[in-house]
Amino acid sequence: MIDAVGHPSSLLLLGGTSEIGLAIAERYLADGPVRVVLAGRQSPRLADAAARLQRAGGHVETVEFDAKDAAVHTEAVRKAFAGGDIDVAVVAFGLLGDQEKAWQDIDVAVELAEVNYVATVSVGVALAAEFRRQGHGHVVALSSVAGERARRSNFVYGSTKAGMDAFYTGLTEALRGEGIGVTIVRPGFVKTKMTAGMDSAPLATTPEEVARITVDAVTKRRELVWAPAQFRYVMSVLRHIPRPIFRRLPV
């Protein structure tokens, strides 16, 4: 159970090598022991992630999980819960990809849609079932500001995040009243390996800062947060700008 000061006993990270996800785990571990279940494909990266959290004081387990194989999602989530209750589950996997290829190559576009939307919906359904069975818990969905309004530069990625975001917004309402919380986190440009080599963007942030915002939001049971918070106002303006003007902006 999450204690009175917001510290969970257990954490499931779907996307076990996610830099933001690992930063969230470390944020919790800084305040005390946590059983951490890393769900991901068996690989040296997953082993490194497990070792990193063990050094931070975590009791780490791993579960085989492939976002591209929806047939294994339910079983992977069940295995994660089989070792004991899960207090917080973070849906942290996703692809960015080559955005110019994404709107011209069917395989690239479909892969983005399957990982960023189909897989996140699939695990969301599985998590809801397990959390309803145990009667408590909290889901964190790592969305993106890119889902708020499609831009020419990354509209395929943005469309997948828009779909994911809408699903978890609906899940928030569906689980309301059952003791299960949902927090949607909308980061902007985060400096990670995924964005290495790309030009930085205004309000760029770090995995550690996104983790700080996320942990605070879960503690306060907030349903939607932006990372950084200023994006709430920036995107509110951008959402209402007429298209002829919007396409001229350097966004």
Instruction: Say if residues 37 and 12 touch (Cβ distance below 8 Å).
Output: yes
- Least Cα distance to 214 among 11, 3, 32 occurs for 11
- CB atoms under 10 Å from CB of 222, counted, come to 15
Q: Taking Cα atoms as reference points, which of 165, 200, 163, 207 lies closest to residue 186?
A: 165
Q: How many residues does the chain have?
A: 251
Q: What distance lies between CA 11 and its chain's CA centroid?
A: 13
User: Active-site residue 168, yes or no?
Assistant: no
Contacts of residues 199-203 at CB distance under 8 Å and 24 or more positions apart, as own/partner, are 203/228, 203/230, 203/231, 203/234
Could you give the CA distance from residue 131 to residue 138 in angstroms, rounded to a whole number?
8
- Burial class of residue 104 (count of CB atoms within 10 Å of its CB; 0-12, 13-18, 19+): exposed
Between strands 137-142 and 59-64, the pairing is: unpaired
Catalytic residue among 117, 157, 168, 233: 157
Active site residues: 157
